[in-house]
Amino acid sequence: MTEEEPTPRLAVLGAGVMGASITTLALGRGVPVVLVETDPVRRADAPARIERELRTAQLMGVRSDKPRAELVTGTSVTDCADADIVIEAVTEDAGLKAAALTEVSGIVRPDTALITNTSSIPVDELAAKLPRPESLLGVHFMNPTYLIGTVEVVRGARTAQHAVDSVERLLAALDRRGVFVGDGPGFVTSRVLHRMINDAARVVEEGRASAEDVDLLMQECLGHRTGPLRTADLIGIDNLVDSLWVLHQRTGDEGCRPCDLLLRKVRDGEHGRKSGQGFYPYPGLVP
């Protein structure tokens, strides 16, 4: 982004883990955000969660020197009317995502780019349900967004160049590198990573190694920065299971069927860092 280009006006749909993380990145890079969340409890809690993430980013030395941008929370997609770009970050469910994108597309200007942050649903599958499919493309931000400087960018078969141009301007403003990949279930990262996490959990389920030992081996022998099971806790095990079901249903790959250990953790509320317990305990992280 050059000095002459104005800072993009960004709206984010959903104040869950990824919506809050994307908002944190944008605010820290001087990009103002309208964060829309219909759940009153999650909406009320979002500013405090984002503030904690901003402080963490500052402590880790990854905050930019730009003044912090303004956060506005909203209750309806009508609050997105003036946005240049809208990022959808709702639950990994194709019906919910398509409904949110369809609703917001009727509010924003025709030239507003729509981004889905899906980790596994093909972009063109969602675009086919929209009145303006040419406005949609995928950008897979990964958590924590303020530490991970590269994102997957997925151009669907119907995506117009003006939407691509808008997203490239946004990524420049966020100081993020976009890697364009082909559309399809899971794109690149989720197609590879989520099955690996499923296999790692299955090894623990079979009693062949502890979660700690699986992660240690993957870190020290294969160079995986955090280990697959710590990564699962960071993603959110409930979100991971949703993504695995998407991959299983769309590819038929039995390796993507969530293993029983993952399903039990979701059932028991052990969703990872956000719940205070996953494969590891996280005391003090949940208010």
What's the pLDDT band for 196 if we cut at 50, 70, 90? very high
Do 213 and 171 share a structural domain?
A: no
Q: How many C-beta neighbours within 10 Å does residue 168 have?
A: 15
The residue whose two tokens read 């942050």 is 117
Mean pLDDT of 136-141: 97
Distance of CA 1 to the CA centre of its chain: 23
pLDDT surpasses 80 at 64: no
| pLDDT of amino acid 62 | 74
Output Rg (C-alpha) for the chain, integer angstroms: 18
134 token code pair: 């040419």
Q: Taking the chain, what is the end-to-end CA distance rounded to the nearest angstrom?
A: 38
Local confidence band at 113 (pLDDT 50, 70, 90 cut-offs): very high
* Residue from 152, 153, 171, 141 nearest 235 by CA: 141
Cα separation, 263 vs 286, in Å, equals 22
Mean pLDDT of 164-181: 96
CA-based nearest residue to 262, from 233, 286, 282, 283: 233
**Boundary (domain end) residue, out of 157, 181, 205:** 181
- 6 versus 63: the higher-pLDDT residue is 6
Per the model's pLDDT, the better-predicted residue between 63 and 215 turns out to be 215
Residue 100 CA to residue 130 CA, distance in Å, equals 10
Determine, yes or no, domain membership for 282. Answer: no
Residue 2 maps to a domain? no
- State the pLDDT at residue 60: 81
Residues 114, 49 within the same domain: yes
Instruction: Identify whether 29 is part of a domain.
Output: yes
Together in a domain, 152 and 196:
no
Neighbours of 225 (CB within 10 A): 10
Summarize pLDDT for 66-80 with one digit per residue, the tens: 788 999 999 999 999
Parent domain of 269: 189-275
Q: Give me the number of domains the chain comprises.
A: 2
CATH code, domain with 42: 3.40.50.720
Is 60 exceeded by the pLDDT of residue 95? yes
Going by C-alpha positions, the residue among 240, 148, 159 that lies closest to residue 200 is 240
Same domain, 165 and 249: no
- The backbone torsions φ and ψ at residue 228, rounded to the nearest 5 degrees and listed phi first, read -65, -35
Q: Is residue 234 in some structural domain?
A: yes
Mean pLDDT computed over 162-188 = 96
